[in-house]
Amino acid sequence: MTQDQKGLKFTDQAKAIILEHLSDESFGVSELASAMYMSRSNLLRKCKKETNLSASQFMRQVRLEQAMELLKESDLTISEVSFQVGFGNSSYFIKCFKEQYGVTPGEVGKQAEEITQEIKVQEKAISPTFFRRYKWPAIVGTVIALAIITYLLIPSTPSEEKTRPINQDLEKSIAVLPFKNESSDSTNLYFVNGLMEAALGNLQKIGTLRVISRTSVEKYRHSNKNIGEIAAELNVNYIVEGSGQKIDDQVLLNIQLIDAATDTRLWGQQYSHEIVDIFALQNEIAKTIADAIQANITPSELEQIDKKPTNNLVAYDYYLQAQEPFFRRTTEGLLEAIPLFEKALEEDPKFALAYADLAISYYYLDWFKKEKQYTELINNYADKALLYDSKLTESLIAKALYYEHIGDYRLAVPHLEKALEYNPNSSAVMQLLSGLYANYIPNTGKYLEYALKGIQLDIAANDSIGKSYIYLHLSNALVQSGFTDEALSYIDQSLALFPDNPYSPYLRAYILYAKNQNLQETLHALKKEYQKDTTRLDILQEVAKLHYFQKDYDNAYYYYKQFDSIRQARGLAIYPQEDIKIGFTYEQMGQKEEASRLFDSYTAYCEQDASIYKDASLAVKYAHEGNFDLAIEHLKAFSTQDHFQYWIVLFMRLDPALQALEAHPEYGSVMKKIDERFWKNHDELQETLEAKGLL
């Protein structure tokens, strides 16, 4: 900071420094804090107090103000302005600009001015009296004349409407609605659905598009809603709709691309193909749609689009017949689909898609079963799928599911990440990655990022109950990373959609604790939920834990004893990380032998734990055992971890087993370091997600 800047008030100082680094995309909140000789937390508090904005929002506002000036006063393109004000992504710049000013960058500045100047020049070239009298008739006449000339000179094709100009500022987001079956034979529906699936699948391979998932569009198969309503619900700018029929060995297909904002057709085409050309037709449709909205296709994406799934049309027909029961994901549906996939493989033993879907089918047949039956089949079919197409999304998903099946979760990740390279719009891959980072490889940042990406593609999936669970999942991801207000908004939407959702009130109670930090209020809310269903072991142990945090050991013992007894009687290995709290409570109640059993169980849990929380767990163990220095060393090690849950910050200091450390000279500093680490991760994650247009 210069001497001149030091004399300015906070907002002016910050603005001056931001302007010095205006084009530097990497100059973020941490860099601003450093330049102002402040900690990140002090900068965030000061910024909120002075501007009522977060630091990143304030920085973005300054950049957008400069962008407005550049657009008005220079000849720079939107992309050039975007980079000059520190936006590395012009699409995100356009989105932020429109949110700030209510107009797109293309509607601002010299474009409008140049049109006005051009009209003035034309007016000077014509007699002023003539123009004043005949200005509008002349314009209308010119337009009509041009239309007539265009009609006479440019030949038209009855089966195709020419591509109209598109708004370049619009996000290239698209939904492919279920195609209508116009065949007199209703059994041909599976074939028409296959055409729609292929169009959707090929578009999903294009990275510059955001393509809504199959599950989200399926609900509109029999909908009476208009294009504008559907587009608004799906949050897309373009809609593809079509109809088709199969007559003997001929396929007739009508397809059109619609600009949702104006409900106008940008492109339309009638196709008549022999079934033998079906793959060429599917590939042509995807490339034509991408071209119509000027979405760039890379050579590798083009290679994936042009690839034929099989050369055997009989095999492909069996595969299409299997899709409807396969997507039901019920035991009956999977058992109906499996023989059809097997028939497809009899016709074409190198059909990678069929192998992949067989592996996925057997995975779901084994799902949640204690005794797994199909491990080898899943592995063999996944390997065959990869052998015949290692770049196929379904092949990579199949192998990832095999690793999940055997509990080797870290080996699933590279397969899923590779699948996203080849299919960046796969909501299935997003969901799998989100689940892995939520449950098996704890990382709140990645959990939230994939949850947000997934909801962009799968926002309208299922009915209101299904959507309620989607919002529940996203709310959980948000609160774990400290986005309390956003989490509360989504959990309220979850409850509005499905008031009887059994998990949303439970999560809402904890979100309100994160917001208000009123332990008694949280306890009251959880007891209310427990009274609705006293079989809920999850809530039972949470009620016990909140009494434990209040050092109310009598009530903690009452609830923990019930939980522990049921867990033992049923042979359930659930919540092993809580055993030290249960043991500590038993110890306080004089139950030494039972306490010892639980401490031994907790030690075994710590030894097996491979997560980022291992050092935090060991710190509690050693603090309880009186080995305070070792406990502090483990807390120090934990303070270097990234993207741990907000609950650590909120509840660790309340744990009676850890409070013996409070007298240690390093306790205060290490706990402060853990807090700062969490909020540093939070702020960096917020910047990243905002830059990607996810938050």
Q: pLDDT of 260-288, one tens digit each?
A: 878 888 888 877 766 666 777 777 888 88
DSSP 664: S
Helix (H, G, I), strand (E, B) or coil at 174: strand
pLDDT value for 109: 54
* pLDDT of res. 135: 33
- Residue 236 has a CB neighbour count (10 Å cut-off) of 24
> How confident is the model over 646-665, as a mean pLDDT?
94
Of 13-27, 136-150, 509-523, the poorest mean pLDDT is in 136-150
Distance CA 122, CA 128 (A): 10
* Structure confidence at residue 136 (pLDDT): 30
What local confidence, expressed as pLDDT, does residue 145 receive? Answer: 32
Separation of alpha carbons 410 and 407, rounded Å: 9
> Does the pLDDT value for residue 550 go beyond 80?
yes
- What pLDDT score does 396 carry? 97
Looking at residue 126, its pLDDT comes to 33
More confident call, 600 vs 79: 600
Yes or no: say if 209 and 203 are a contact pair by the CB < 8 Å rule. Answer: yes
State the average pLDDT over residues 249-270.
Answer: 82
Query: What integer pLDDT is reported at residue 224 of this predicted model?
Result: 82
Burial class (CB in 10 A: 0-12, 13-18, 19+), 375: middle
190-237 pLDDT tens trace: 777 777 777 778 888 888 888 888 777 877 887 888 888 888 888 888
**Which pLDDT does position 460 carry in this prediction?**
56
pLDDT at 211: 86
Q: Which tokens go with 603?
A: 């030690």
Give 382-437 pLDDT, tens digit per residue.
Answer: 999 999 999 999 999 999 999 999 999 999 999 999 999 998 888 889 989 999 99
For residue 407, the tally of other CB atoms under 10 A from its CB is: 8
| pLDDT tens, position by position, 426-464 | 888 998 999 999 989 999 999 999 999 888 777 655 567
Tell me what percent of the residues of the chain surpass a pLDDT of 90.
Answer: 45
Closest to 175 in 3D by CA, of 224, 228, 123, 125 = 228
pLDDT at 4: 47
Confidence label for 296 from pLDDT (cuts 50, 70 and 90): confident
- Please say whether the beta carbons of 374 and 362 come within 8 A: yes
The per-residue pLDDT for 428 is 87
Residue with the larger pLDDT of the pair 665 and 470:
665
What is the pairing mode between strands 180-181 and 210-211? unpaired
Specify the residue for token string 């939230």: 448
Say how far apart CA 530 and CA 180 lie, in whole Å.
47
pLDDT at 48 over 90: no
Residue whose structure tokens are 């200005």: 135
Report pLDDT for 140: 33
Is residue 579 within 8 A of residue 602, CB to CB? The reply is yes
Inform me whether the pLDDT recorded for 167 exceeds 60. Answer: no
The model's confidence at residue 29, banded by pLDDT at 50, 70 and 90, is confident
Mean pLDDT score, 512-519: 94
Three-class DSSP category at 176: strand
Residue pLDDT, tens place only, 490-499: 999 999 988 9
Q: What is the pLDDT of residue 132?
A: 30
* Residue whose structure tokens are 């906070």: 10
Residue 184 has pLDDT above 60, yes or no: yes
- The 10s digit of each residue's pLDDT in 337-369 is 999 999 999 999 999 999 999 999 999 999 867
- What does pLDDT average to over the chain? 83
Of 409, 473, 411, 415, give the one whose Cα is nearest residue 442.
409
- The residue among 295 and 133 whose pLDDT is bigger is 295
pLDDT tens profile 97-156 = 877 888 878 777 544 444 334 434 333 433 333 223 323 333 333 332 323 223 323 333
Q: Which residues contact 108 (CB under 8 A, 6 or more apart)?
A: 68, 71, 72, 101
